[in-house]
Structure 1
Amino acid sequence: MKRKVAVFTGTRAEYGLLYWLMKDIQSSDLLQLQVIVSGMHLSPEFGNTWQTIENDGFAIDAKVEMLLSSDSDVGVVKSMGLGVLGFADALDRLRPDVLVVLGDRFEALAIVQSALIMRIPVAHLHGGEITEGAYDDSIRHAISKLSYLHFTSTEPYRQRVIQLGEAPQRVFNVGAVGLDHLARSPLMSRDELSQSLGFDLSKPFLLVTYHPVTLSEESPRESFQALLDALDRFPEYSVILTYPNADNGGRAIIPLLEDYAQQAPGRVLAIPSLGFKRYLSAVGLASAVVGNSSSGVIEVPSFKVPTVNIGARQDGRLAAESVLHCAAETEAIEAALRQALSPVFSRLCAEVDNPYGAGDASSQIVNVLERFQPESVKPFHDLS
């Protein structure tokens, strides 16, 4: 009998990273893929991206509504409560042999709590990382402690998960799973991307994603406005703006983003979700990636494209030399962008090594999932 592997996804970005792992589980002779979808995927406000999952050839086994239309911390907590209720029913019906989750989102924490009580082993991807500017940092470590198997993106992160008390034989450094796209996903040409978006990309463009910073003094509106003011100083560049995630403060950014696009429709495109194929195609064609998404630090360096990482959200995360860090202030963002767009920095990016692996994570993960035998008790591993 095949081992049932449930893969959870709650956001567009997370699904893009999980795509090839889901395909490889689907193709395995020893594993049966189950797909649990929740969070932003089911929200019209964020693009109804569950449809993309089905269009990619995956059957969705459970849809769990949990996301309140709220921009407050209380709203996020209540969304988590709704998630736990829905995940209990979904997991009871599916009864997977293992649950796969990626990263550090509150949606993932809700389902992992449920799996723990229901004695369903969890395989956690991208544990051990640090993002000091967001409560995601604590969520990530909490998920690690609730998980049985661990697949980290670098060796230092593997050591950090072991430092949390996880046994070394259950912690695997496989690299960043999203880098599998580099070797396996055909990307769109500039003309194809332009036609798909209905937006003229004949001029150089900047790809911009900014999320609220949930654990610092950065005001989402003020920081995002500083970013927009800095972009105004580069009128020769077109701009693709993707929507923020559903963290508290995210919805406050959306009206600013939409107004900015409406004021310059020929220069600025605002879009709720690009989907991973269009997103990665845009990364490869962009003059720079700007904002505070983890993608700018983890995946973008492999495209030899500069990243301007704004503010505190990614503080503490390993980064290649092609990533420039700056304060969430207009002058600092402008200075970093000018450096990123310079010929000297372009040459540096062409030679950079990405610390997050070579793009073969999915096959390594599937190999472990096919052969692991969970124990009923997970001992704490003390460092000697």
Structure 2
Amino acid sequence: MAIPRKLCVITGSRAEYGLLYWLLREIVNDPDLQLQLVATGMHLSPEFGLTWQQIAADGFPINRKVEMLLSSDTPVGIAKALGLGVIGFADALADLQPDMLVVLGDRFEIFAAAQAALNLRIPIAHIHGGELTEGAVDDAIRHSLTKLSHLHFTAAEAYRQRVIQLGEQPERVFNVGALGLDNIRRLRLLSRRELEQSLDFKLGERNLLVTFHPTTLECDSAGEQFAQLLEALDRFEDAHIVFTHSNADADGRVIGKMINTYREHHPQRVTAFVSLGSLRYLSLLREVDAVVGNSSSGLLEAPALQTPTVNIGERQRGRLCAASVINCPPQADAIAGALRHVYSETRSWNSEIPHPYGNGDSAVQIKRILKDTPLESILMKRFFDLPPSALQKQEAPVC
């Protein structure tokens, strides 16, 4: 009997775990694979809801917990947390001895894990490479992860081409679509009544879901930009608003405090959550009139649910956008104008919107490739020089 291939999956945030959920299920249900799960970052922090408990409640054993978050959300604090993460992951991975490390996205927690794996000669599979978010330090981390990795799973063909442009061998780069769409396809979303009961919050005739993260390449801009967003929301006094708190990025606590203050001033129509979980988040995303802010979910999941997006500022600049995404600068007048456009009768948001990120079968594709790819010489990487004539046009507009 063959020894199961050990796949070590790293998760550091609520959003990332939600994207990985069905891939984890696929791995667990395959007798030829063994899941090793490592929780880190925000999952282990009381401030962000101790979301490792949700992972355990979903039935996934957590093999290791790597503590790395400090009490500071300053750039220096984040840099020190990165160093702590490398130390913690070195110990965890040396103990677990996986056949492959599986990581998703572009956060600093994932970068720490990949650095440790590289020096331990553990091959790395990276999900969601090749994308651009030019307003965030995540952009550089994502491309760095591409160069550290040995298998690549992109969410669109344009992103696959970009990973190849970075010198990765084409036969190791796979366009599988966005994992977030698997949730939409496979979860039974809550009805409006079930959602209201779960949230303990009554939705109104108009409803908005707001998630705003610091734009990490802009110094000290978080508070000022979020104040502009709140000023715009004040102009829609009949709208019920659900905030989700920002990630553990530099200046994230500034936004958290402003959310709490705004909620206290508008208790009848405003609520806020540190973590909603995938089921409640997607169910809410289906019910609201728009998702507002600068979260990647506004570009990935919202269009698949026929929900318009008001995408604010530079954080997501460079990503492929569906027609339902309205881009605007972080200024109150511009944000309010975008919301008025959402509520206008001049544009139908219920028609079928072409989606650039696949059809919701990513987890099955990724699992199959992780299972079947030979590992004997995978650590040997050759730089692939892409001829200019091989570049393809992007298949959708970018933000």
TM-score range (shorter-chain normalised) is over 0.9
Aligned runs of 1:363-378 on 2, under 5 Å? Answer: 363-374=364-375, 375=377, 376-378=379-381
Alpha-carbon deviation of 1:167?
0.3
Matching of residue 42 in structure 1 with residue 44 in structure 2 = yes
**Would you say the 8 A contact 1:71–1:252 is kept in 2?**
no
The answer for unaligned runs of 5 or more in structure 2 is 388-399
2:307 maps to which residue? Answer: 305
1:381 maps to which residue? Answer: 384
- Show CA shifts across 1:83-113 (max 9, x none): 1111011101111111111110000000000
- Show CA shifts across 1:250-286 (max 9, x none): 1111111000001111100011111111000000111
The answer for unaligned runs of 5 or more in structure 1 is none
Q: Which of residues 100, 103, 108 in structure 2 aligns to 1:101?
A: 103
Determine helix, strand or coil for the equivalent of 2:37. strand
2:296 maps to which residue? Answer: 294
Alpha-carbon deviation of 1:216?
2.9
Segments of 4+ moved more than 4 angstroms? none
2:218 maps to which residue? Answer: 216
Separation in 1, partners of 2:36, 2:381: 25
Identity between Structure 1 and Structure 2 (%)? 56
Alpha-carbon deviation of 1:204?
2.6
Separation in 1, partners of 2:220, 2:317: 13
2:392 maps to which residue? Answer: none
Alpha-carbon deviation of 1:218?
7.0
Alpha-carbon deviation of 1:183?
1.5
2:165 maps to which residue? Answer: 163
Matching of residue 174 in structure 1 with residue 191 in structure 2 = no
Query: One-letter code of the match for 2:307?
Result: V
Query: One-letter code of the match for 2:172?
Result: R
Matching of residue 355 in structure 1 with residue 385 in structure 2 = no
- Show CA shifts across 1:54-108 (max 9, x none): 1111110111110011121000000011111110111011111111111100000
Separation in 1, partners of 2:73, 2:204: 37
**Would you say the 8 A contact 1:2–1:29 is kept in 2?**
yes
Alpha-carbon deviation of 1:340?
1.5
Matching of residue 27 in structure 1 with residue 29 in structure 2 = yes
Separation in 2, partners of 1:7, 1:340: 39
1:191 maps to which residue? Answer: 193
Q: Which of residues 290, 300, 315 in structure 1 aligns to 2:317?
A: 315
Aligned runs of 1:235-246 on 2, under 5 Å? Answer: 235-246=237-248
Q: Which of residues 232, 235, 245 in structure 2 aligns to 1:233?
A: 235
- Show CA shifts across 1:298-326 (max 9, x none): 11100000000000000111000100000
Determine helix, strand or coil for the equivalent of 2:346. helix
1:271 maps to which residue? Answer: 273
1:256 maps to which residue? Answer: 258
**Would you say the 8 A contact 2:73–2:251 is kept in 1?**
yes
Query: One-letter code of the match for 2:315?
Result: R
Alpha-carbon deviation of 1:236?
1.0
**Would you say the 8 A contact 1:322–1:349 is kept in 2?**
no
Separation in 2, partners of 1:167, 1:326: 37
The count of aligned residue pairs is 383
Determine helix, strand or coil for the equivalent of 1:344. coil
Separation in 2, partners of 1:3, 1:305: 40
Separation in 2, partners of 1:186, 1:344: 32
- Show CA shifts across 1:201-220 (max 9, x none): 24331000000001136710
TM-score by length of 1: 0.98
Separation in 2, partners of 1:268, 1:104: 31
Matching of residue 282 in structure 1 with residue 306 in structure 2 = no
Query: One-letter code of the match for 2:95?
Result: R
Separation in 2, partners of 1:343, 1:272: 34
**Would you say the 8 A contact 1:133–1:214 is kept in 2?**
yes
Query: One-letter code of the match for 1:301?
Result: P
Q: Which of residues 49, 53, 62 in structure 2 aligns to 1:60?
A: 62
**Would you say the 8 A contact 2:220–2:251 is kept in 1?**
no
Determine helix, strand or coil for the equivalent of 1:238. strand
- Show CA shifts across 1:239-258 (max 9, x none): 00000001101111111100
Determine helix, strand or coil for the equivalent of 1:368. helix
- Over aligned residues, Cα RMSD in angstroms? 1.0
Matching of residue 13 in structure 1 with residue 15 in structure 2 = yes
Separation in 1, partners of 2:120, 2:358: 34
**Would you say the 8 A contact 1:288–1:341 is kept in 2?**
no
Determine helix, strand or coil for the equivalent of 1:343. coil
**Would you say the 8 A contact 1:8–1:100 is kept in 2?**
yes
**Would you say the 8 A contact 2:86–2:112 is kept in 1?**
yes
Separation in 2, partners of 1:352, 1:383: 33
Separation in 1, partners of 2:344, 2:104: 35
Query: One-letter code of the match for 2:368?
Result: N
Determine helix, strand or coil for the equivalent of 1:266. coil
TM-score by length of 2: 0.94
